[in-house]
């Protein structure tokens, strides 16, 4: 569109990826189509950030294998990459810190390109700590905007008491922005309507309607694997082979962390942190 500036976007998705599925990859394609259709954005990169072992979710296999599977799944993509910073941290890292890390990496990359003025401007905004209702500081900076990409279950989880800090939600949505893919069983518009904080920053939330509903979930994939059923066409072939080669998912692996629960996950199990 003539006269309208196009904002470059980097999409970041955080999750267990235990294992990565075709739907995780589809999320990126759906988000890119949606954003670029608006005429306001150009998606330049997608980052998959598998959670570290410190997350201690039941059945979460070693981060090393989850990373390797994500790398195999994205080897044919020319824009989706896997980043291991989060999974290499010795303890679980809240999502807002992962987002900040990637934002700072983007600033550092811009600095390398000698884009001094825009970097100075972005740093100034960071120090001021102000959030804008339309992330316009990034547009003015001229560099790409970082947005968190997630399924509607994550948006809904923002409303679960004590799972996410309100300040973290405000920073993720208010400062960076969120792209949310619909998932059956979740109603993102209702979540936004019911939450003061999401409502305040609603202009920074892009809800992407997935019409070809696809209920692939990593939990169902692990269940099928434990039962010796085929998971072909739910995951990239290279990932299926990797799982077979390393015999990754079994009744035993599903019991991993069964009695060790990280504080943010207590709501799922009622167990206490160790
Ligand atoms: N079928 C799907 N539709 C939309 N979003 C999805 C879908 N599957 C996963 N996601 C999103 O992908 C991201 C990473 O998800 P995660 O690794 O937790 O996978 P999952 O399939 O939801 O796992 P599990 O079934 O074990 O809870 C999250 O933002 C999640 O909402
Ligand atoms: N307070 C927080 O930052 C917070 C709380 C719960 C989950 N998460 C993140 O959301 C993702 C959820 O993944 P799962 O759906 O596989 O549990 C993970 O990346 C996890 O780190 C973040």
- Highest-scoring range by mean pLDDT, 118-127, 192-201, 256-265: 192-201
Pick from 72, 96, 224, 83: which is nearest to 170 by CA? 96
What are the Cα distances from residue 200, in Å, to 59, 64, 99, 272? Answer: 36, 39, 20, 33
Q: Which residues pair with 80 in a beta bridge?
A: 46
CA 121, CA 134: separation in Å to the nearest integer?
Answer: 17
Best mutation site among 218, 257, 268 for ligand 1, i.e. most ligand atoms within 8 A of its Cβ?
A: 218
- Secondary structure letter of residue 235 according to DSSP: B
State residue 137's pLDDT score.
Answer: 47
State residue 118's pLDDT score.
Answer: 47
Centre of ligand 1 to C-alpha 6, Å, is 29
Look at ligand 2, atom 8, and give the residue with the nearest C-alpha: 95
For residue 274, what are its two tokens? 């160790």
Centre of ligand 2 to C-alpha 227, Å, is 27
Comparison of pLDDT for 270 and 65, the residue scoring more: 65
Measured from the CB, is residue 163 less than 6 Å from ligand 2? yes
State residue 242's pLDDT score.
Answer: 98
Centre of ligand 2 to C-alpha 164, Å, is 9
Measured from the CB, is residue 95 less than 6 Å from ligand 2? yes
List, for residues 117-131, the tens digit of each pLDDT value. Answer: 444 444 444 444 445
List, for residues 109-167, the tens digit of each pLDDT value. Answer: 888 875 544 444 444 444 444 454 445 445 556 789 999 999 999 999 999 999 999 99
Residue 97's φ and ψ, nearest 5 degrees, are: -70, -30
Look at ligand 2, atom 18, and give the residue with the nearest C-alpha: 15
State residue 263's pLDDT score.
Answer: 54
Measured from the CB, is residue 260 less than 6 Å from ligand 1? no
Comparison of pLDDT for 72 and 269, the residue scoring more: 72
Instruction: State mean pLDDT over 197-226.
Output: 94
Measured from the CB, is residue 59 less than 6 Å from ligand 2? no
Q: Which of 81-95, 139-153, 173-187, 216-230 has the lowest mean pLDDT?
A: 139-153
Look-up: residue for tokens 């100034």? 124
Q: Which ligand is nearest to the CA of 154?
A: 1
State residue 243's pLDDT score.
Answer: 98
For residue 127, what are its two tokens? 């120090």
The residues near 125 (Cβ < 8 Å, ≥ 6 apart) are: 137, 141
Residue 70's φ and ψ, nearest 5 degrees, are: -65, -40
Residue ranges of E strands in 79-154: 80-82, 145-151
Confirm if 178 and 168 have CB atoms less than 8 A apart: no
State residue 212's pLDDT score.
Answer: 86
State residue 139's pLDDT score.
Answer: 53
Instruction: State mean pLDDT over 177-206.
Output: 96
Look at ligand 2, atom 20, and give the residue with the nearest C-alpha: 15
* Domains, the chain: 2-269 (3.40.50.620)
Cα separation of the two ends of the chain: 55
Best mutation site among 11, 27, 214, 265 for ligand 1, i.e. most ligand atoms within 8 A of its Cβ?
A: 27
CA 138, CA 23: separation in Å to the nearest integer?
Answer: 29
CA 230, CA 267: separation in Å to the nearest integer?
Answer: 32
Measured from the CB, is residue 217 less than 6 Å from ligand 1? yes
Measured from the CB, is residue 239 less than 6 Å from ligand 1? no
Centre of ligand 2 to C-alpha 129, Å, is 23
The residues near 17 (Cβ < 8 Å, ≥ 6 apart) are: 24, 48, 50, 51, 66, 69, 70, 218
Can you tell me the ipTM of this complex?
A: 0.96
Whether the predicted pLDDT of 8 surpasses 60: yes
């Amino acid at each position: 569109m003539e006269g309208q500036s196009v904002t470059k976007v980097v999409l970041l998705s955080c999750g267990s990826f235990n294992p990565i599925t075709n739907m995780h990859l589809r999320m990126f394609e759906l988000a890119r189509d949606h954003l670029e259709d608006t005429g306001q954005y150009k998606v330049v990169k997608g980052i998959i950030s598998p959670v570290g072992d410190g997350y201690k979710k039941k059945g979460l296999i070693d981060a090393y294998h989850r990373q390797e599977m994500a790398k195999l799944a994205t080897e044919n993509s020319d824009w989706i990459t896997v980043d291991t910073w989060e999974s290499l941290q010795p303890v679980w890292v809240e999502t807002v810190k992962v987002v900040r890390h990637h934002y700072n990496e983007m600033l550092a990359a811009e600095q390398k390109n000698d884009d001094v003025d825009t970097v100075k401007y972005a740093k100034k905004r960071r120090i001021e700590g102000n959030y804008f209702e339309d992330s316009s500081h990034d547009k003015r900076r001229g560099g790409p905007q970082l947005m968190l990409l997630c399924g509607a279950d994550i948006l809904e989880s923002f409303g679960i008491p004590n799972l996410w800090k309100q300040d973290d939600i405000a920073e993720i949505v208010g400062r960076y922005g969120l792209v949310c893919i619909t998932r059956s069983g979740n109603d993102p518009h209702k979540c936004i309507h019911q939450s003061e904080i999401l409502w305040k920053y609603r202009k920074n939330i892009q809800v992407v309607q997935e019409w070809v509903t696809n209920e692939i979930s990593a939990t169902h994939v692990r269940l099928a694997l434990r039962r010796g059923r085929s998971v072909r066409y739910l995951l990239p072939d290279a990932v299926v082979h990797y799982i077979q080669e390393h015999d990754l998912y079994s009744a035993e692996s599903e019991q991993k962390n069964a009695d060790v629960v990280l504080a943010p996950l207590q709501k799922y199990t009622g167990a206490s942190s160790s």
